[in-house]
Each structure stands twice: as C-alpha cells, then as structure tokens.
Chain A
Amino acid sequence: MSAWQKGLDAAERNQAGGMEKLDKLFAVAQPGAVYSEPVQAEGHTVITLNEVTVVMGYGFGIGEGGGAPSEQTDNANAALQGGSGGGGGGGGFSSGRPVAVLSVNANGVHVKPIVDVTKLGIAFLTTFGAMALMLARISSASRR
C-alpha cells in the first residue's frame, strides 16, 4: 500500500470519526436539552428554559511531492526523493444560557424571562462605542 493510499485511508477514517462525533453532538438538538429537570420547592415547581448552541468543525489534508531534479539525479529518480504527509484537526464551541423560568404553582403556570445583564451591558457598550467612533470620524471628515 502506498503512502498516498495510507494517508487517504487515514483521512477517510478521520472524517468518519468526525461525522460520528457530530451525530452525537446533534443529540443536543432535542427539546429535552433545552428544558431542565423540574425542581420542587415550597409548592412551586420550576423548570429552567435554556438556549443551547454547539458549533463544531474539523478538517484534514494530505499531500505528496517529488524531489526537484538536480545535476546528480535524473527525472525518474527525482520522484523517489519525494515524500508525502497529512494532517488534520478540529475544534468546537458550545454554550448554554438560561432564557426563562417556567414556574408552576397552585395559581397557574407562568413564564418569567431572564435578562442576562452582563451580555446586555457588553452589547450596549460595544454599540455605543461604535456609534461614538462612527460619529467622530464623520464629524472630522466633514470638517476637512
């Protein structure tokens, strides 16, 4: 078996493994992952509703090359001086964020939203920082 064929087989195995991992990861796409187990306290039953995000990527590459012909070697021997190689890698990201709380008690069923103050604060500062920068640049450009 040539080095190229070995590399190709390894790449195919890597891809099959990656697809298998991806299928397992996609089990997250069930509603059960979004809704937590019910918790009971003082006549209330509470369920947390979460947003779940999973991103995954992987890749691989293989290649081979022949040696450059020199004064000592002819073209036929140059190919024997070549080599081949391959590699692969992957990465991913996952996050969960509570969105709301479902509360069940004797008075009924209520959904109360959860506000992520930290995330909103960062978004607010980023937005107004970008606006201020934009206005400052427009203002300086109009004075020229």
Chain B
Amino acid sequence: MRLGNNLLWEKISGEPMMIQDARIIPQARVLRVQSRFGGLVWNRPVSVIVERAGKRETIAAPDVTLITTIALFVSLLAVPVWIFAMWKGVRK
C-alpha cells in the first residue's frame, strides 16, 4: 500500500544470498511514514524464501515477542468488556 510519497506499507524482497547449497531471499515488511517535519521507519523481517535442490519454500519468521505483547494488551482491553457483561448479567 502506498499513499503518495508519505506512506508506504509493503513487503519487499532483499538481495538473494547463496548459503551452502541454498539460495535465500529475505523478505521484510516496511512501514514508512514521511512528513515535512519528520518520519518513521518500522522494518521487520516476515519470511525467507529458500530455494534448494530445485525446491522453493517460504519459511515464516514469526515475531513471538510482538505477538505475545499484543495478546497481553488485548487481554487487558477485554477485562472491562468482560466486567461490563457480568454486571449486565447480574442486573437482569
């Protein structure tokens, strides 16, 4: 996704690397926000494409720390919803 030159959110592939007998193509997800007064770049690995012995496979690189942190904060947001649902149940 690209909005002019100011916002970019896309998956980009890096230069292929030959490691032992495998050809590895790194892939990264980039968020780039640019304005007249500054900007932000968030660049994280998402997967690697491995070509070996004529086979091509994509191996995901999950960010376990980020996923767990998001899960924790979502659970924090769920607490008031749960309390509200219980409170409504008691009133009935």
Number of interface residues of B (CB under 8 A): 46
Q: Least Cβ distance of A104 to chain B in Å?
A: 5
Across-interface contacts of B73 in A (CB, < 8 A): 123, 127
Across-interface contacts of A62 in B (CB, < 8 A): none
Q: Which of A31, A97, A102, A120 has the most CB of B within 10 A?
A: A31
Selected from A56, A115, A123, the residue in CB contact (under 8 A) with B38 is: A56
Is B64 among interface residues, defined by CB-CB distance under 8 A? yes
Binding site for B on A (CB under 8 A): 15, 18-19, 22, 25-26, 28-35, 38, 45, 47, 49-59, 90, 92, 97, 99-100, 102, 104-106, 108-111, 113-116, 119-120, 123-124, 127, 130-131, 134-135, 138
Give me 27 A-to-B residue pairs in the complex whose CB atoms sit less than 8 angstroms apart, sorted by A's number.
A18-B38, A22-B34, A25-B39, A25-B41, A29-B41, A30-B12, A31-B13, A31-B27, A49-B26, A49-B45, A51-B63, A52-B44, A53-B40, A53-B42, A97-B65, A99-B45, A99-B61, A100-B62, A102-B48, A109-B24, A109-B48, A111-B60, A119-B69, A123-B68, A127-B76, A131-B76, A135-B79
